[in-house]
Structure 1
């Protein structure tokens, strides 16, 4: 029997054996999930028995047609006598070809060899010249780039110094603007300082702060919050409107964002004299 036919039959019986094994596995799975049914259990047992016998027969037939490795090597590899004969013929042919080439053109080989040597020498000289030119160009370019980089770094440092000076000037101006008070704000501060001095309070801790559109007079905490910019100037208080109206003050309701109970309209700074008790009470709470 031919080697190819043996391989085909071996592969056929192995595939058939694997088919039986797959059928055996599926029948076992079906049996496991249907243990309550007697009919399905008996049929699964029967299929298992048949598939086991079939797989065993298929493996036996596959072993019969299995091709041994020694047989494959002996059929693929040539014999030692054939190898010796091939080597002898090849050596004879090579010797004959070499004698023909040396007899035909001995002078041509010498000429070609000398020409190749001259070409190699010219190429080496050209390579040396190009390397020298490249080194000179690289040296010049590196020097130029270093000079440009140093100039650019100097310019950048100058710009940074200028920007730092500009930022310090801006900070100084903002600090001045926060500390500067207009005429009405200074008048309000003087009135509160005078009220506290009349009640023998230490006013050294008094300070002012601007929060958005509001002007705060503070000790350790806010004593009074005013809104002095816009159409209306008023003081925000925690007092009820009815109490303030009894004192003859003009009052209105605050907005939802203002977490106070009332607005006291400031027709002048003298209105604060009417609220001296309220201001002193807030100062004592802050201290």
Structure 2
């Protein structure tokens, strides 16, 4: 009996480890290092930051679990309310302006114009420039004494008085928005331009034959062709703008009087005061809003695919 049972074990093992399953195991083996890297460099720091937000941890101290105490404290401060409002205003206004500028320039460059390749490369310079250099340059332009903007306004007679662009509450946020739009519109421009160039020209010819005017061709042909790119670009730009630190810090450091205070700068101030738990709570407070943006964008993309 034992001798007759032994030869049957090998065929069973062979039938289980088929060529298809071997390919699946090989694929899992290739993906495993990437999964380990994601878990170690993304998932662990992300989850640990959430845990720290619920503690009173400080520099040199492990801290204790305090639940929602950090969030209740932040909700009662005026600077946190200012950070919420300023972050929303910064993200919404800059995204709208970058959309309008990027879309307009993409539609222009998509036409058969002489020298459009050079013009396209020129428009990418703000995005290619390091953010540190770009915003320091804008800080010099905004200086009340010797700044480029004030020199243009005063010497041309447009406005005879010197404006402290970054030192007044009325002009600080618009100044940050202007610099952020200048730095970020090339990303919208190149993304929309790539989507425009993927739209078949036959659709425009068919629309012209049907008597559609320029606005109708844009709404019925161009917009559906770039809709998904606009959704993804809006999502990425909103996340980048909400998490960006250098544009506000290099220009205003959140001032004057919290007029430009945003979440990343507020979290940085929490780190400076060595209150790690409160700083982490500021960062974690952004997660629900960003998660909602991701869910909305994903559902819209899924709807388009369906």
Q: Normalized against structure 1, the TM-score is what? A: 0.19
Q: Normalized against structure 2, the TM-score is what? A: 0.19
Higher relative contact order (CA 8 A, sep 6+): 2
Higher gyration radius (CA): 1
